[in-house]
């Protein structure tokens, strides 16, 4: 505990010192003061734990403290709007997530005060979280192909759960409906825990879940794993075939990435990208990510930007096709 | 049976020097933060999570669990002493506990809470150890229709809960239900009553309204001069329980423990209902010396036992399935992940030392809490002797920082101010805040479960009657409603009320 | 003539609250039974609340009157105002100033304030030190001791 107190005191002392000197921090001597890392989720969740790990490693590499600032609310959009309001000096980082960045333009149009593509600059995609298609044991199917066949034979009968209507998991259900051409009943829940409980109790038959809860229940035989929702097999569960084998082109996953405000000097963005790319190869990070159900990425800014563009476009089409309205 | 072998293993784990130490640190810390208004276990555990990185997995979980049930104890202390319930579960404790404190019986109220919680904690720990798997299976039988019916029962109960005018209680419940709807609708993702304020998208935090309605409203009332300059209206009497007290609280404690243990297992918000449920039951069964709502010791004993039992049994779905039943359990799962343990059904078999150690530590922690809290009662009681004009500014500061810490936003301070004013207005109109708070807890869940039940039954409303558990709950609700609106009973209620 | 009873005014508050909630719920769709829309519950509750409020008002004309107690407007406004000021100042002026304003602002509502304000300075200093150490340093709540106005 004393260690933490020490860090807190040091951070406070640093903040104070910087406040006194009031020099304008330029790109040359960046970083010269503690960096704030905005996380749009409450402390303790998978994204927060990941962010803390990244903050610790990033701080070691940059030689300054990276302080996590949890600003939960409005599916991460609150933290994103705070990042946009901060100065573009590289001292405020944002942990980007699908709901606030790639989903918000289509699902929350007019409700958010920022434009993710214009007001924020992607640095690097830190991790991606594959989603797994799981079914309850009594449902009696063993593969994604069997699910498609059953859904076609009994239109409207299957209860397909999700961990939220406007989340990567909820939109995955809509994408299944369109891409596989099946009619299932989408039953949204408030978070993965509630949906899993309903799956165990038989209220829903099938759902997409993140590795963190899906894998242990698959391995202990409480749920049947049908496949992974990415195009390729995932290192987290190499035995799971892609759902795309049964539903061509089907892909759904979640991710976290580092972003800063638009206008941040390029030298700072490049430095951050280099450090992120290096820290996700750290064996300790790789190991901790695996228990979080996350796969480290650490790509470059251009790749991340391209990914965000594609995802935003894909979701815009999907939201239109599925006729999801958030008024 | 290997249960004894398992418990023995658990005791060995829990009684290692390090684990005893962390258990103590946990419960002491929990008590401390529970006593500070507004600062609850969720915020504290979240903030202390990084500290546990360096501990062994069993020590980390034992300490975090200690913070959780320690905070339940501490929360009751503030509810009793200064009418500030920081948790849904201590709202009910404040009703009679605070009245007891004002008439100089804070010691008895606190001792009752401690004894009741200890007994309930012990029973619930045994339940977890022996019946976890079958209880989990039972909890999973609760699906949308059952939850909806349970919420209806809770709603009816909330009207019985009120001791003033029936019609005003009904109005307060409805306002609470509407306040509960603020935020994003789970079924469609549409935002309701958010006024374009991003902080409202996830709804209004229950703690903010509880602190505003009870705490801020109380402060303003006390400043109006009617209530005098000191909180006490009578002189401080016996700190310990008399033989008569013990006789009075045995029944409520037993019933509260049973109710809390059962409701705590339900992951969909059952634990929150347990203290309300217990109060309603006692109101119908017990025959107190002082009427309920005026400082009845039974009204402290039952709900306090229920909330502690519920807090303990809410570990069951987390331990057996990896499903968190409340935000604290979600954080416990986060802590396990940090420690490299995959939460889920395999924990029991793959980490028996951790699993049974945690269970054994809960009982040890409860003993520690009792030992820690009984002597503290003397100190707490002195606190209300502090002149009120010094006490209330500090209370306000702690409330402000406390609600800010919930999600690091000043919006919660503004909301607390607004609803504090509203709370004062309601208080002047003799509209009680408790039904409003219960409505706020029930509202969003009731709607969500109703809509989901109808979605899954493809629009067939008979689903609520065809499922036996759901039908039973609805029948109970109907019976409660009949009792509540029978004119003779209603008249008696009013007579009792006007008599004071 | 308005009769100043608790029943009447409680009813009036309920009706007003219900009407406001009902008005805002107009834009949420009603849906059908199997797919109940987001507007169903709010409308039902608002209408019920207005009915309950109406009953309370009607009742106020028949049942024995409970006279309305006086509202102590000044202490209420002072306490609420201090809280709002504290919320506004916390991020801008920092914890030290915001909490001092809250302590002194709220304390001024008490009749004992004039006689005891010197002791209050000590108490304020102690409270702020406690909050800074426990909440900011030990628990790590992100609150600036010195706010953005001075940095």
For the stretch B421-451, pLDDT in tens is 999 999 888 888 888 888 888 888 888 889 8
Q: Give the CA-trace dihedral at A139, A144, A145, A147, to 10 degrees.
A: 30
Binary contact (A69, C142; C-beta < 8 A): yes
Interface of A with B in 89-128 (CB under 8 A): 107, 111, 113
Chain-centroid distance of CA A158 in Å reads: 28
Which tens digits make up the pLDDT trace of B59-118?
888 999 999 888 888 888 888 888 888 777 788 888 899 888 888 888 889 999 989 999
**Mean pLDDT to the nearest integer, B110-136:** 87
Please indicate, yes or no, whether residues A147 and A234 belong to a single structural domain of this protein.
Answer: yes
CB contact under 8 A, B337 and A49: yes
How far apart are the C-alpha atoms of A211 and B342, rounded to whole Å?
A: 10
Q: What string of pLDDT tens digits covers the 151 residues of chain C?
A: 344 588 888 999 999 999 999 999 888 888 877 778 888 889 999 999 999 999 988 888 877 666 777 777 888 999 999 999 999 999 899 999 999 999 999 988 887 777 778 888 999 999 999 999 888 887 777 788 887 787 6
Query: Closest approach of chain A CAs to the CA of B323, in angstroms?
Result: 5
Matching residue, tokens 């219960």? B438
User: Is beta strand A35-39 parallel, antiparallel or unpaired with respect to A92-96?
Assistant: parallel
pLDDT number for residue A241: 92
Last residue of a domain, one of A245, A280, A300: A245
Peptide bond preceding A238 in cis form (omega within 30 of 0): no
CB C19 within 8 Å of CB C49: no
Q: Which residue of B has its CA nearest to C39?
A: B192
Residue identified by tokens 């009553």 is B193
| A-C Cβ pairs (cutoff 8 Å, strict) | 25
Does pLDDT of B363 surpass 80? yes
pLDDT for residue A196: 86
Q: Residue A15: pLDDT above 60? A: no
Q: Which helix (H) or strand (E) holds A81?
A: helix A77-85
Question: Whole-model pTM?
Answer: 0.81
Task: Give the pLDDT of residue C151.
Answer: 64
Which subunits count as partners of chain C given 3+ CB pairs below 8 Å?
A: A, B
ipTM over 0.90: yes
My answer on whether A125 and A158 are in the same domain is no
Q: Same domain, yes or no, for A37 and A106?
A: yes
**Residue A174 falls within a domain, yes or no?**
yes
Model pLDDT for residues B322-342, shown as the tens digit of each residue: 777 777 887 887 788 777 777
Q: In the prediction, which pLDDT does A16 show?
A: 47
Cβ distance A127 to A296 under 8 Å? Answer: yes
Question: Do both A56 and A202 map to the same domain?
Answer: no
Least confident of A108-112, A128-132, A202-206, C48-52: A108-112
SS3 A259: strand
Chains near B with 3+ CB pairs less than 8 A apart are A, C
Judge whether A65 is closer than 8 Å to chain B, CB to CB.
no
Residue from C25, C38, C140 whose CB has the most chain A CBs within 10 Å, to mutate? C140
* Residue C151 near chain A (CB below 8 Å): yes
Q: What is the mean pLDDT of chain A?
A: 84
Q: How remote is the C-alpha of B273 from its chain's centroid?
A: 8
For A215, the domain range is 131-245
Residues of A in contact with B198 (CB under 8 A): 73-74, 77-78, 81, 113
Q: Is residue A24 in some structural domain? A: no
Residues of chain C contacting residue B215, judged by C-beta atoms under 8 Å apart? none
Condensed to tens digits (0 to 9), the pLDDT of residues A261-304 reads 988 888 889 989 999 999 989 898 888 888 888 888 888 888 99
Q: pLDDT tier at B271 (50, 70, 90 boundaries)?
A: low
On whether any CB of chain B is under 8 Å from the CB of A157, the answer is: no
Last residue of some domain: A213, A245, A277?
A245
Report DSSP letters for B236-255, one per residue. ---SS--HHHHHHHHHHHHH
Q: Which residues of B touch C7 (CB under 8 A)?
A: 165, 167-168
A327 lies in a domain? Answer: no
Task: Report pLDDT for B291.
Answer: 84
In A, minimum Cα distance to C28 occurs at A327
Same domain, A228 and A204: yes
Tell me how far apart the alpha carbons of residues B349 and B354 are, in angstroms, rounded to a whole number. Answer: 10
Q: In chain A, how many domains are there?
A: 2
Residue A15 sits in a domain of what CATH number?
Answer: 3.40.190.150
Alpha-carbon Rg for chain C, nearest whole angstrom, is 23
Interface check for A201 against chain B (CB to CB < 8 A): the answer is yes
* Confidence band of A24 (pLDDT split at 50, 70, 90): very low
**d(CA A266, nearest CA chain B) in Å:** 31
Q: Which of C36, C46, C83 sits opposite B400 (nearest CB)?
A: C83
Rounded Cα distance, C53 and A281, in Å: 64
Please give the Cα distance from B140 to A210 (Å, whole number): 21
At B232 the pLDDT is: 60
Select the residue of C137, C142, C144 nearest A9 (Cβ to Cβ): C137
C122 near B CB under 8 A: no
Higher pLDDT among residues A15 and B342, named by residue: B342
Separation between Cα atoms, residue B373 and residue B64, nearest integer Å: 19
**Mean pLDDT score of chain B:** 83
pLDDT in tens, B9-37: 888 888 899 999 999 999 998 888 888 87
pLDDT at B302: 92
Closest-CA residue in chain C for A7?
C137
A9 and A60 inside one domain:
yes
Q: What residue in C sits closest to B405 (Cα-Cα)?
A: C141
Separation CA C70–CA C64 (nearest Å): 19
Q: What is the DSSP letter of B188?
A: T
Evaluate whether residue A100 is within a structural domain: yes
Distance between CA A237 and CA B42 in Å, rounded?
Answer: 32
Asked if C142 lies within 8 A of B408 by C-beta distance, the reply is: yes
A205 and A156 in a single domain? The answer is yes
Closest-CA distance, A248 to chain C, in angstroms, reads 31
DSSP 8-class letter at C136: I
Q: Do C45 and B174 touch (CB under 8 A)?
A: yes
The H or E element that residue A38 is part of is strand A35-39
Give the C-alpha separation, B103 to B108, whole Å. Answer: 11
* pLDDT > 90 fraction of chain A, expressed in percent and rounded: 22
**Spatial separation of the C-alpha atoms in residues A229 and A303, rounded to whole Å:** 21
Residue-range domain boundaries for chain C: 6-60, 73-138
Q: What is the DSSP letter of C28?
A: S
Q: Are the beta carbons of B100 and B295 closer than 8 angstroms?
A: yes
Domain of residue A165, CATH code:
3.40.190.10
Whether residue C10 and residue B168 make contact (CB cut-off 8 A), yes or no, is: yes
Distance from CA of B197 to the nearest CA of C (A): 15
Inform me whether the pLDDT recorded for B500 exceeds 80. no
**pLDDT tens for each residue of A178-195:** 888 899 999 998 888 788
C70 touches chain A (CB under 8 A): no
Q: Which residues of chain B make contact with C53, given a CB cutoff of 8 A?
A: 171
pLDDT of residue A325: 60
CB neighbour class for B403 (10 Å; exposed up to 12, middle 13-18, buried from 19): buried
Check whether residue A176 and residue A208 sit in a common domain. yes
Distance, in angstroms, between B142 CA and closest chain C CA?
20
């Amino acid at each position: 505990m004393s260690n933490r107190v020490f860090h807190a005191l040091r951070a406070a002392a640093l903040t104070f010192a910087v406040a006194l000197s009031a020099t304008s921090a330029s790109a040359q001597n960046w970083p010269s003061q503690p960096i704030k890392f905005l996380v749009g989720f409450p402390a303790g969740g998978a994204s927060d734990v990941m962010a803390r790990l990244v903050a610790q490693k990033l701080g070691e590499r940059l030689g300054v403290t990276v302080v996590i600032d949890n600003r939960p609310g409005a599916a991460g959009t609150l933290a994103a709007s705070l990042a946009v309001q901060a100065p573009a000096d590289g001292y405020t980082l944002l942990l980007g997530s699908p709901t606030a960045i790639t989903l918000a333009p289509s699902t929350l149009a007019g409700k958010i005060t920022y434009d993710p593509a214009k007001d924020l600059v992607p640095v690097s995609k830190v991790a991606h979280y594959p989603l797994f298609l799981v079914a309850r044991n009594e449902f009696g199917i063993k593969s994604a192909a069997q699910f498609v066949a059953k859904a076609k034979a009994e239109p409207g009968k299957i209860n397909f759960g999700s961990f939220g209507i406007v989340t990567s998991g909820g939109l995955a259900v809509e994408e299944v409906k369109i891409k596989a051409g099946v009619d299932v009943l989408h039953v949204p829940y408030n978070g993965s825990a509630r949906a899993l409980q309903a799956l165990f109790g038989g209220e829903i038959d099938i759902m997409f879940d993140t590795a963190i809860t899906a894998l242990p229940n698959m391995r202990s035989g409480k749920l049947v794993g049908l496949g992974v929702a990415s195009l390729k097999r995932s290192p987290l569960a190499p035995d799971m075939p892609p759902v795309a084998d049964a539903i061509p082109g089907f892909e759904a996953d979640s991710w976290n990435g580092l972003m800063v405000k638009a206008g941040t000097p390029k030298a700072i963005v490049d430095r951050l990208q280099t450090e992120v790319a290096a820290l996700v190869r750290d064996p300790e990070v790789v190991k901790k990510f695996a228990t979080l159900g996350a796969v480290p990425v650490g790509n470059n800014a251009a790749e991340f930007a391209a990914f965000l563009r594609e995802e935003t476009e894909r979701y815009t089409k999907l939201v239109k096709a599925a006729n999801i309205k958030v008024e | 049976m290997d249960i004894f072998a398992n418990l023995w293993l658990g005791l060995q784990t829990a009684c290692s020097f390090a684990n005893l130490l962390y258990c103590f640190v946990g419960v002491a810390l929990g008590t401390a933060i529970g006593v500070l208004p507004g600062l609850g276990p969720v915020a504290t555990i979240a903030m202390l999570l990084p500290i546990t990185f360096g501990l062994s997995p069993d020590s980390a979980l034992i300490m975090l669990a200690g913070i959780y049930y320690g905070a339940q104890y501490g929360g009751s202390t503030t509810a009793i002493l200064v009418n500030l319930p920081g948790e849904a579960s201590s709202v009910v404790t404040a009703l009679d506990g605070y009245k007891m404190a004002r008439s100089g019986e804070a010691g008895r109220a606190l001792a009752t809470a401690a004894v009741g919680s200890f007994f309930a904690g012990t029973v619930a720990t045994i339940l977890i150890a022996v019946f976890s798997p079958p209880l989990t299976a039972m909890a999973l039988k609760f699906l949308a229709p059952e939850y909806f019916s349970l919420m209806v029962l809770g709603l009816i109960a909330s009207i019985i809960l009120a001791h003033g005018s029936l019609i005003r209680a009904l109005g307060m419940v409805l306002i609470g239900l509407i306040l509960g709807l603020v935020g994003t609708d789970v079924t469609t993702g549409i935002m309701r009553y958010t006024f374009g304020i991003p902080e409202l998208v996830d709804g209004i935090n229950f703690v903010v309204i509880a602190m505003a309605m009870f705490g801020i409203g109380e402060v303003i009332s006390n400043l109006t001069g009617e209530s005098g300059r000191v909180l006490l209206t009578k002189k401080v009497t016996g700190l310990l329980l008399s033989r008569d007290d013990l006789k009075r609280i045995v029944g409520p404690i037993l019933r509260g423990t049973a109710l809390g243990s059962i409701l705590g297992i339900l992951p969909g918000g059952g634990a929150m209902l347990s203290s309300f449920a217990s109060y309603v039951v006692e109101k119908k069964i017990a025959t107190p010396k002082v009427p309920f709502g005026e400082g009845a010791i039974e009204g402290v004993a039952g709900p306090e036992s229920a909330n502690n039992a519920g807090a303990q049994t809410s570990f069951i779905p987390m331990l057996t399935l990896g499903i968190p039943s409340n935000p604290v359990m979600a954080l416990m799962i986060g802590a396990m992940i940090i420690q490299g343990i995959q939460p889920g059904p395999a924990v029991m078999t793959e980490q028996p030392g951790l699993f049974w150690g945690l269970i054994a530590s809960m009982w040890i922690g409860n003993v520690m809490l009792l030992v820690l809290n009984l002597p503290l009662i003397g100190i707490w009681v002195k606190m209300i002797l502090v002149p009120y004009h010094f006490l209330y500014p500090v209370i306000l500061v702690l409330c402000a920082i406390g609600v800010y810490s919930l999600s690091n936003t000043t919006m919660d301070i503004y909301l607390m101010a607004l609803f504090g004013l509203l709370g004062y207005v309601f208080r002047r109109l003799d509209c009680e805040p408790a039904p409003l708070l219960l409505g706020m807890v029930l509202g969003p869940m009731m709607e969500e479960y109703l809509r989901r039940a109808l979605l899954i039954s493809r629009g067939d409303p008979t689903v609520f009657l065809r499922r036996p558990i759901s039908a039973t709950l609805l029948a109970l609700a109907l019976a409660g409603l009949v009792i509540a609106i029978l004119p003779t009973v209603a008249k008696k209620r009013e007579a009792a009320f006007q008599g004071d | 003539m308005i009769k100043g009873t608790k029943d009447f005014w409680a009813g009036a508050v309920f009706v007003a609250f219900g009407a406001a909630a009902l008005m805002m719920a107009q834009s949420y769709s009603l849906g059908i039974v199997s797919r109940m829309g987001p507007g169903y519950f709010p409308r039902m509750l608002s209408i019920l609340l207005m009915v309950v409020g109406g009953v309370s008002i009607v009742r106020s004309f028949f049942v024995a009157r409970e006279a309305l107690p006086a509202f102590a407007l000044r202490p209420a406004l002072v306490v609420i105002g201090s809280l709002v000021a504290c919320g506004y100042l916390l991020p801008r002026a920092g914890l030290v100033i915001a909490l001092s304003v809250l302590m002194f602002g709220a304390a001024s509502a008490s009749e004992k304030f004039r006689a005891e304000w010197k002791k209050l300075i000590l108490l304020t200093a102690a409270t702020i030190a406690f909050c800074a150490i426990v909440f900011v340093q030990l628990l790590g709540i992100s609150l600036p001791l010195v706010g953005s106005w001075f940095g």
